[in-house]
Amino acid sequence: MKSARAVAHTNIALVKYWGKRESSPADLNLPAVGSLSLTLDRLRSETTVAPADQDSFHLNQEPASGEVAAKVLRHLDRVWQAAGHAGARPTCEVRSHNYLPTAAGLASSASGFAALTLAAAAAFEYDPGRPALSALARRGSGSAARSLWGGFVRLDRGVLPDGSDCRAYPLQPQSFWDVRLLIVHTEKGPKAIGSTAGMQRSRDTSPYYGPWVDTSEADLAAAEAALAARDLPVLGDILEHSCFKMHACMMASRPPIVYWRGATLDVIHAVWRLRAEGLRGYVTSDAGPHVKVLCAEDQAEELAVRLRAVPGVHAVDVVGPGPDPTVEVSA
Ligand code: ADP
Ligand code: DP6
Ligand code: CO
């Protein structure tokens, strides 16, 4: 094997993924709904995979253990198996750095598993092309399938039981539309319940889960058309609807899954107030307390200044559409 280093940018869903369909084996990780995302500039994971005497995983310079390390090593096994090499997987040293908060609802699993998939495949000299690598990244984390491309990306739900048609593809490149996403940070620290466990609870207990799944294809089709037309108000309406529908499904789970804090709602209402004043921002939020606001480039700074003044807001980052991932191999 070789040593390889990959950089993958995170992505935020404009039409959300929440829920998995049954699969055998369960770790195929097949989403119950398709999703549509924007890959982000700057927020990224950088991961190296190199041969070593024993397996190890370091995240942000710290040795990782437990499930965090186990998930990474299981993923190396998957990539090795997909590569079809004879014999046992070589032992590897994996090091990753997240240039974004980990497990805080800012999609570290997306950039993390996309970078890991790319670095491991290159280290194992396996090059099946990005669509197949996207399907492989999905098995590490559903949202990771979308971080194989920059710009605007769609992940289809797929219909095949082996998941081979469940992979992302690019809709529009990074240069297509110079929008901005404001990341409005409220609470610090990791989320109370991870996405994987939260989705399972919603599927098992939320009475809104069925309607959530049944209505998502229509949102995807409408969002794709609004994106192609660069129609911000129409896309904004769809992304808010998808976000609130997902959170309603989460909140109606038993016990309830409530990722929002008081400041989350204060920011949402502030965005709506500002919109009435002509600052056109549209809110979305994931499995965490932070709010993301999609807006036009020429209104981003003004919106950021106004949202920094909302009590409970720690910081507002302004990010644009991000690039494709990159991979480098050394001997
Ligand atoms: P997030 O909102 O950050 O995506 P998730 O609960 O979906 O939160 O996933 C967080 C988990 O993803 C972490 O606990 C860890 O297991 C994994 N993860 C995060 N970053 C990386 C990385 N760079 N490399 C490998 N795994 C990672
Ligand atoms: C709310 O991709 O983190 O951010 O597949 O179990 O790893 P796993 O889940 P993950 O879920 C992301 C959920 C979301 C919405 C989205 O990104 O589409
Ligand atoms: Co995640």
Give dist(CA 80, CA 329) in Å, integer: 17
> Which pTM value belongs to this model?
0.97
Instruction: Pick one of 2.115.10.20, 3.30.43.10, 3.90.25.10, 3.30.230.10 as the CATH number of 3-175.
Output: 3.30.230.10
* CA angle at 150 for the pair 198 and 42, rounded to the nearest 5°: 80
Interface ipTM above 0.90? yes
Ion ligand 3: residues, CB < 5 A: 109, 195
The CATH code for residues 179-319 is 3.30.70.890
Q: Per residue in 281-304, pLDDT tens?
A: 999 999 999 999 999 999 999 999
Distances (CA, A) of 267 to 37, 96, 98: 22, 32, 26
Residues 6+ apart with CB under 8 A from 229: none
The residue whose CA is least distant from atom 3 of ligand 2 is 195
**What local confidence, expressed as pLDDT, does residue 106 receive?**
87
With a 6 A CB cut-off, is 96 part of the ligand 1 pocket? Answer: yes
- Please state the domain extents for the chain: 3-175, 179-319
Which of 40, 195, 212, 284 to probe ligand 2 with, by most ligand atoms within 8 A of CB?
195
Which ligand is closest to the CA of 14, given by its number?
Answer: 2
Residue type, 243: C
Distances (CA, A) of 42 to 35, 56, 320, 324: 22, 27, 8, 12
Q: Per residue in 54-66, pLDDT tens?
A: 999 999 999 999 9
The residue whose CA is least distant from atom 27 of ligand 1 is 112
Q: How do strand 56-59 and strand 92-98 relate by DSSP bridges?
A: parallel
